[in-house]
Each structure stands twice: as C-alpha cells, then as structure tokens.
Amino acid sequence: MQKKLIVSNPKVMMGKPVIAGTRITVEIILEKLSAGETEEQILEGHPRLTREAIRAALAFAAQALRADVVYPVAEAVS
C-alpha cells in the first residue's frame, strides 16, 4: 500500500495541499521548479523532502488541472 504523500488539513498552511508530515506546499514546489531550480536544489533546501514527494506534487497539480474548469490567461501585450 502506497503512503499518501499529498494531504490537506485546514489547520496546516490554511488547507493548501502539502507534503505529508511537512508544511511544504505543492505550490512552493511548483514555484521553485518554474523558477528554474533543480530537484537537487529543492532537496538541499528542504531536507525532509524526497524525489518521490516532488513527483507526487507534480502529479497532484496535473490531476487538479484535469478538472472541467476554465483558467483565463491574459494575452501578452505586444
């Protein structure tokens, strides 16, 4: 049985999805990756984090975006 890596609790980080047993949000992992940080850099900065947890955060985000919701994106100004 695989341990659930992403959890949400209203008493932890205002209910944002976090890595189980930490206060590290899925959001911060995504922000760090999108800013160009490598997995290694993220792991160095957060010793309680694992590669498996980073991948779980990415999978969680992908699954969340599969919902039937429209996300308006502003057009770039030329």
* Structural domains of the chain ordered from first start: 6-65 (1.10.10.10)
This model's pTM is above 0.85: no
Residue 65 pLDDT level (bands cut at 50, 70, 90)? confident
CB 6 within 8 A of CB 17: yes
Partners of 25 in the beta sheet? 18
Higher pLDDT, 74 or 30: 30
pLDDT score, position 76:
66
Partners of 7 in the beta sheet? 18
DSSP-derived 3-state class of residue 12: coil
Mean pLDDT for the chain overall:
90
Q: How far apart are CA 28 and CA 44, in angstroms?
A: 14
Stated as kind and residue range, the H or E segment containing 51 is helix 51-65
